[in-house]
Structure 1
């Protein structure tokens, strides 16, 4: 059997070998570390160690031998232990075999052999193991032809895929996630089994589901994962708001584009320019309001009036259902969905200064992300139209730079404060103060006055007089 000495050059593996020999245990490194080394994907920070015996005892012995004697976290319920060393997280588990009940993905666990442990792995490419034993150090143990499947770029389960996915339905998402991250193909029988078992995903916690969705979203080409989720029927269960966008309606010869496949193109486009997870989420959800707002009018054809506003409200409901964070991250996605059509509308209005000022003011520090989203939203296959849209956005960006340098509205602070208004008119906090401040803000955004104190104070005095206030 082939040896992979270069994979185990790090000192940590010799320490594990020493500890295992002292305890008279067999030990192996298994799973993602082996897979990624063979694929030359860089050095993983997570290492899984299987012991034929007590993984917890092995972890404690390794900690004793290491010079800095790291703390060992023990998870007795799972029979696992974890320690951190050399900027890596190393998890130890005793080899085991598992059986499952219909209504849970939590297995009934028994002690087992290395073969039992490899049998319980999700995919053949994750069942690869390297020996850490002195007698055959670095030897590859590959009972399911995982190496061949790596070479063929194939995702395949070690055992019957129906059993694998029904036992632990999260593996269906993991299959799609690995296919997306590695740009592999899921074996046909395995893909069909995901479709057959798709309803089993309902027993998986939303937190586990979103963890996999995040990983798909952060891949180089997320559309591959979402297309597979759609093909297998999982997406309709997890995110029906997206699948509702699919399809092209035609009335009296007038059509609209398929907003589902358009959305996946937008996500791929934006992924070429940003690793910001939440900006990618905004790209995925920017059009979800189009399904409920779609209408046909004889004179103007298909419309989606107010889809940005409806979509922003749907973002909250979707985040809440999927247990995504309901904090500033959700508000950021909502904001970008709500504003996703604003920049192109400015182009249509010949890029007036006031429209640009309002766009910068409303977007604030998120203006660059908004522009990145809007440029990713250009998916037309017509070369002339594509070039024109991008040229238009360059005009908007140029105008934004000019307006921001002159008017400084991105981090807008009113030139006249509430305290100055109260002192000038000798009044206490009241609605009049808000009216005066809004009047000044609107005048600056419209370009009626410059963003400076003198002009703002003159307008404050004028508006105060209109409100019946007397200046000191």
Structure 2
């Protein structure tokens, strides 16, 4: 019985390599995902052919070739819809100071598989022209995959010392594949978590992003916190274990934040949303720094959304996230408490306009975050909060239909302001514009004549 459906393009490559006297193996994540019946668009191969021989074979087909990784034995190409990487057997050693291997090419598929990160990625399929492909699994990867276990081919201490990023990758596979790390893997991660600091922030961010976007990010975050990896990546998350939630309904703010992230994920409509998930996880990270015990015995976290937004900016910048992601996550954290001033619907239209304008393109995400932030076990209170937010969304919809909320601008633009007041471009124009914008937010559309009158009144008050 054939365990893996081999794409025709892989069969073609195998015939070409065999004709040149070389062996070719489908390997790593390509095999793992095929066994899990996950869609595969990137194919990874390993071979006994040396890099220059691989290049020569690919050139004979006149296809595209990428050799940016050739010093590590990797040559890339594309055939049809598949992106392909072919790597010469490796038997690397690591300097264990950086994560860079001292590249050494090998002659054995078993030795190549031994140096890989986890047993579920240390399986291969030898491709032969007659179609009688040979499954190669010297470290029990298939059994581990069936059992849902994440383990290493060598000892985890050896594997993680070679490349500490593998510890974070373990958490990523927990999130993406739902695997459970073997006890010895968890022990090694806990003992060696400090070595993750050897890895560049860019590489750490790439793994964290994949982890957050996986199917089980809560399990992965919990693993990071329990082993100490989070202290290097997101230290603000384990710090939330120290702050008791003001509603006294949760073990701590840390647990509450994980629940909010899960509830936000349930509200996603267009696939995994990195900005929403990060905002949900980090929305309360300002609480430990703002925690105060009030005279009545309650715990307060005044202005934790302001402090939290600043903390989010600092952390995501250190992780080298793009500016837009940093800005969006920080703004959601800053705004996530604004709704709680809405109360029983006593907000003015002006307040509703400001809510929409401050959220801008993030409004839909803010709706999801605020609704997800309700984790009380009191069903009556939860229902009241949801009804209140329903009311706010209804008012937003009504105002949007009447006033084009998504593009609120003053009734007069800069050119009109200069023409009416007879002034040249400069700071005064900006001040007048801001005054008219504030009036627009407060009172809604003014109309041209009223806006001109208000502008002239403002100019007179300023001695113009």
- Pairwise TM-score range, normalised by the shorter structure: over 0.9
1:312 counterpart residue number: 309
Question: Does 2:401 match 1:383?
Answer: no
2: CA distance between counterparts of 1:408 and 1:419? Answer: 22
Rounded Cα–Cα distance in structure 1 between residues aligned with 2:54 and 2:434? 68
Q: Are the aligned partners of 1:59 and 1:82 in contact in 2 as well (CA < 8 Å)? A: no
Root mean square deviation, CA, Å? 2.3
Cα 1:462–1:445 shift into 2, 3 Å: same
Residue 260 of structure 2: aligned partner: 266
Report deviation, 1:135.
Answer: 6.2
Q: Which residue of 2 aligns with 1:453?
A: 448
Q: Secondary structure at the match of 1:244?
A: helix
**Counterpart position of 1:220:** 215
The answer as to whether partners of 2:55 and 2:65 remain within 8 angstroms in 1 is no
Shift of 1:324: 1.9
Query: Cα offset for 1:314?
Result: 1.4
Shift in Å at residue 214 of structure 1? 0.2
Rounded to whole Å, the distance in 2 between the matches of 1:257 and 1:231 is 16
* Alpha-carbon distance, 1:156 to partner: 0.9
Q: Deviations over 1:114-161 (max 9, x none)?
A: 010011111111111111123673221111121111111111111111
1:154-205 deviations in Å (ceiling 9; x for gaps): 1111111111111111111111111111111111111111111111111111
Change (3 A) 1:349 1:136: closer
Q: Distance in 2 between matches of 1:54 and 1:250?
A: 59
* Structure 1, gaps ≥5 residues long: none
1:154 maps to which of 123, 136, 149: 149
Q: Which of 345-354 and 44-53 deviates more? A: 345-354
Provide the residue aligned with 1:29 in structure 2. Answer: 26
Aligned length: 460
**Cα distance, 1:328 vs. partner?**
2.3
Are the aligned partners of 2:94 and 2:102 in contact in 1 as well (CA < 8 Å)? yes
For residue 37 of structure 2, the aligned residue among 35, 40, 53 is 40
- Call closer, same or farther: CA 1:215–1:331 in 2, change over 3 Å: same
Post-superposition, which runs of at least 4 consecutive aligned residues in structure 1 deviate over 4 A? 248-251, 253-257
Question: 1:282 — aligned with what?
Answer: 279
TM-score calculated relative to the size of structure 1: 0.91
SS in 2 for 1:291: helix
* 1:35-69 deviation line (CA, Å, top 9, x unaligned): 11111112x1211111023144235414523xx62
Partner of 1:83: 77
**Is the Cα–Cα contact under 8 Å of residues 221 and 271 in structure 1 kept in the other structure?**
no
Name the TM-score, length of structure 2 as normaliser: 0.93
Is 1:357–1:409's contact at 8 Å kept on the other side of the alignment?
yes
2:193 is the counterpart of 1:198: yes
For residues 87-119 of structure 1, what are the alpha-carbon distances to aligned partners after superposition, in whole Å with 9 as ceiling and x for unaligned?
Answer: 221111111212222312222232221010011
Query: Counterparts of 1:81-230 in structure 2 under 5 Å?
Result: 81-112=75-106, 113-134=108-129, 137-230=132-225
| CA distance in 1: counterparts of 2:288 and 2:73, whole angstroms | 48
